[in-house]
Structure 1
Amino acid sequence: MNRRRCATAAITMVCALTVLASPGQAFAAPEPPPTSGSGAAKDAPRKSAAKDAPRKSLEQVRQEIDALYRKAASATDAYNLAKDQADKQSAEIVRLAQEIVKGQARIDDLKNRAGAAARAQYRDGGLPPEAQLVLTDDPQLFLDGAGRIQQGQKATKDLLGELTRTQADLAAYTKDASAQWQKLEANRVKQAKAKKEITAQLAAAKKIEDKLEKEERERLLQLEQNAEYKAQTAWLSSGVLKEISRSASPQGKKAIQFATAQIGKPYVWGAEGPGSYDCSGLTSQAWSAAGKGIPRTSQEQWRLLRRIEIKDMRPGDLIIYHADASHVGMYIGDGAIVHAPRPGRNVTITGAGSMAILGVVRPDM
């Protein structure tokens, strides 16, 4: 009965999976103090101090917004990894629960067979086969009976052995299911924490941008492009492309074709298409379309895929950016990448050296 309850508990865990949750300052002028009542006089010095405080330049605003989006990107990677692990654990719990159900059914069958043997012995007067054999006077019956007894003893031994193994397997499946459930719950907590961090960083960036005038937003975009152009120019000036003349592999060509077909679609954190993507959602889906499964996040892509020297890279390779590996783009040749930049931007082509390169990885080794 205890094992039956274990199986029931495991199945209950599987049912519980259905409720698994899915995912989602720089140019800031201070709020004006009260202008009437006794509070106005009290806050007058604060108002004067705020008025005299130096305004941040638009370039400082750009850097602050960029830092917020970088933090959101890092949290997005953590969210995606936790979600990917939770999905795998969910599938594993389902598999284990199915094995538990099959194991319990096998145990029931083995017990029924053992019970049938016991009932047969009872019908024979309760005497064991050995005792019945001793009472026979027919030599041929004796020999035939001895053979059947040996066969019966072996069958009984096999039956008991299989019952023991099945019970052990059932206990192991139940233990594994419990462990996977604990991991699943831990990753749900990680997901929730990462989602909260993403939401906070994006809200802070939006608050800053909302305070900008239309002309300032346009200028901000221009500053972003200028910063990318400056970084790309410095990268190209280093002569890095002189040794890069390799062609994409057949799979790499398919991955590039998929990725470039997504140009113009919006960046949405945690998205894997088809209508929107985040940076690693784009690269992982592109390589999946090419017939090669790769890790879901940029950090896992950096950790698990084979690393390549920049001078040896070819179109289709993935360039990992920033010290925390929080961004990824796909190299398409001629010093350019296709990537999903950040919230508020669309999938686009930009210079491969427009951001700080951590390294290059190759999916199709």
Structure 2
Amino acid sequence: MNRRHCATAAITLVCALALLTAPVQAMAAPVPDPAPSAPSPYSTTDLEKVREQIETLYRKAGAATDAYNLAEVQTKKQSGEIVKLAKAIVDGQARIEALKDRAGAQAREQYRNGGLPPGAQLALSDDPKLFLDGINQLRQSQQASKSLLTELNQTQEDLRTYTQDASANWEKLEDTRVEQAKAKKKINAQIKAAEKLESRLEKKERDRLLQLEQDAADRAQTAWLSSGAITGVDSAASGAGAVAVAFATAQIGKPYVWGAEGPGSYDCSGLTSQAWLAAKRTIPRTSQEQWRLLPRIDIKDMRPGDLIIYHADASHVGMYVGDGAIVHSPRPGRNVTLAGAGSMKILGVVRPDK
């Protein structure tokens, strides 16, 4: 009986030791369910409104950029006119001095001859031949004096005109610089406001905003193509147009910078004007002037190289490259890219080499 109790106790002890010495298996801590991501504070409708606000701000900045660029062109032109007028004034002053010297020489000659010109002295001669010669010389001398006086008066009048024109150009130059400064201030304010709107968005919301922007462009392009606007539009580019298209498309990927015309960055009209300059055609610098001054054509007649002007205020421009597409420099924060020609509201088409 005691042996059975001892054996039982021994077995119990062995089992207990076995349990104590057995390797303990690690138990993984339970993984909590991931916390649901915070819902975006912006609904799709809200983001669409933000997109429209940003688009409006950048369009206003684009219009102000055109005003700035036009003022810059005018400043360069007025500065060039002032330089020309300054040279004309210097030349006129030198001309007046030369004429005064000639008049002084005539006066000194008369003084040496007793106050009479040589022709008058010869006219007093008793020799008939000398008398006739004297009359002729007198007439020539009188005509020369009259011409000298006329030339002197005209030169003085020209000099006064040059001076007045230079003064007027200085005033225009100062006015243009004021307009330029106002346009620059407006551009920066519009861009800053747009960037502030975007900065309030989380990255995922900015991605959604970009998608909404692309969707809006796609819808506009699809509607434009469905309207049959470019049915039958298949004209080939002119020689100059092909050069312009090649230049413009080579700039794809370069950033938009307002007021820039290359080579590292462009605004919309900076790209188109430089592309046509590469094709040996000088066209207006701004989209509004391109619309105002270049020959207009129907959409059905357009060909690669033609310029499509956008929005009612002609504040944007792209170059048609064929197959319903344009190359353009869109806005701040974007790069030169290809886009659907109908992705924005078309005002009309112009042809630089018509």
- Please tell me the TM-score bracket, short chain as reference: 0.7 to 0.9
Query: Which letter maps to 1:73?
Result: G
Distance in 2 of aligned mates of 1:255 and 1:116: 62
Residue 134 and residue 240 in structure 1: after superposition, are their counterparts in 2 closer, same or farther (change >3 A)? Answer: closer
1:264 to 248, 253, 256: 253
Q: Does 1:329 align with 2:322?
A: no
Structure 1 gap ranges (5+) = 1-51
Residue 64 and residue 177 in structure 1: after superposition, are their counterparts in 2 closer, same or farther (change >3 A)? Answer: same
Q: Does 1:124 align with 2:113?
A: yes
Q: Does 1:280 align with 2:288?
A: no
Counterpart for residue 73 of structure 1: 62
Q: Which runs of 4+ in 1 moved over 6 A?
A: 52-56
Q: How does 1:201-220 map to 2 (within 5 A)?
A: 201-220=190-209
Q: How does 1:45-64 map to 2 (within 5 A)?
A: 57-64=46-53
Counterpart for residue 101 of structure 2: 112
Q: How does 1:91-110 map to 2 (within 5 A)?
A: 91-110=80-99
Counterpart for residue 362 of structure 1: 351
Counterpart for residue 294 of structure 2: 305
2:123, 2:130 within 8 Å by CA — same for their partners in 1? no
What is the CA distance between 1:139 and its match in structure 2?
3.0
TM-score, normalised to structure 1, is 0.82
Distance in 2 of aligned mates of 1:53 and 1:336: 33
Secondary structure class of the residue paired with 1:172: helix
1:151 to 119, 140, 152: 140
2:109, 2:117 within 8 Å by CA — same for their partners in 1? no
Distance in 2 of aligned mates of 1:234 and 1:128: 90
Counterpart for residue 5 of structure 1: none
Secondary structure class of the residue paired with 2:230: helix
**When the two structures are aligned, how many residues end up with a matched partner?**
314
Q: Does 1:161 align with 2:153?
A: no
Q: Does 1:252 align with 2:248?
A: no
Query: Which letter maps to 1:164?
Result: N
Residue 323 and residue 178 in structure 1: after superposition, are their counterparts in 2 closer, same or farther (change >3 A)? Answer: same
Query: Which letter maps to 2:262?
Result: G
What is the CA distance between 1:55 and its match in structure 2?
10
Q: Please give the per-residue CA displacement for 1:208-259, whole angstroms capped at 9, x wherever unaligned.
A: 1122212222222121111111111111111222120111111111111111
Query: Which letter maps to 2:291?
Result: W
Secondary structure class of the residue paired with 2:309: strand
Structure 2 gap ranges (5+) = 1-40
What is the CA distance between 1:60 and its match in structure 2?
1.5
Distance in 2 of aligned mates of 1:315 and 1:166: 53
Counterpart for residue 12 of structure 1: none
Query: Which letter maps to 2:147?
Result: D
Residue 227 and residue 54 in structure 1: after superposition, are their counterparts in 2 closer, same or farther (change >3 A)? Answer: closer
Residue 241 and residue 128 in structure 1: after superposition, are their counterparts in 2 closer, same or farther (change >3 A)? Answer: closer
Distance in 2 of aligned mates of 1:53 and 1:213: 10
Secondary structure class of the residue paired with 1:349: strand
Counterpart for residue 21 of structure 2: none
Q: Aligned-pair RMSD on alpha carbons? A: 1.8
2:167 to 174, 178, 201: 178
Of residues 167-176 and 328-337 in structure 1, the stretch that sits farther from structure 2 once superposed is: 167-176
Secondary structure class of the residue paired with 1:209: helix
Distance in 2 of aligned mates of 1:56 and 1:110: 80
Structure whose CA Rg is larger: 2
Residue 196 and residue 266 in structure 1: after superposition, are their counterparts in 2 closer, same or farther (change >3 A)? Answer: same
2:78 to 76, 89, 96: 89
Secondary structure class of the residue paired with 1:296: coil
TM-score, normalised to structure 2, is 0.85
Q: Please give the per-residue CA displacement for 1:46-66, whole angstroms capped at 9, x wherever unaligned.
A: xxxxxx999972222111111
Counterpart for residue 278 of structure 2: 289
2:268, 2:316 within 8 Å by CA — same for their partners in 1? yes
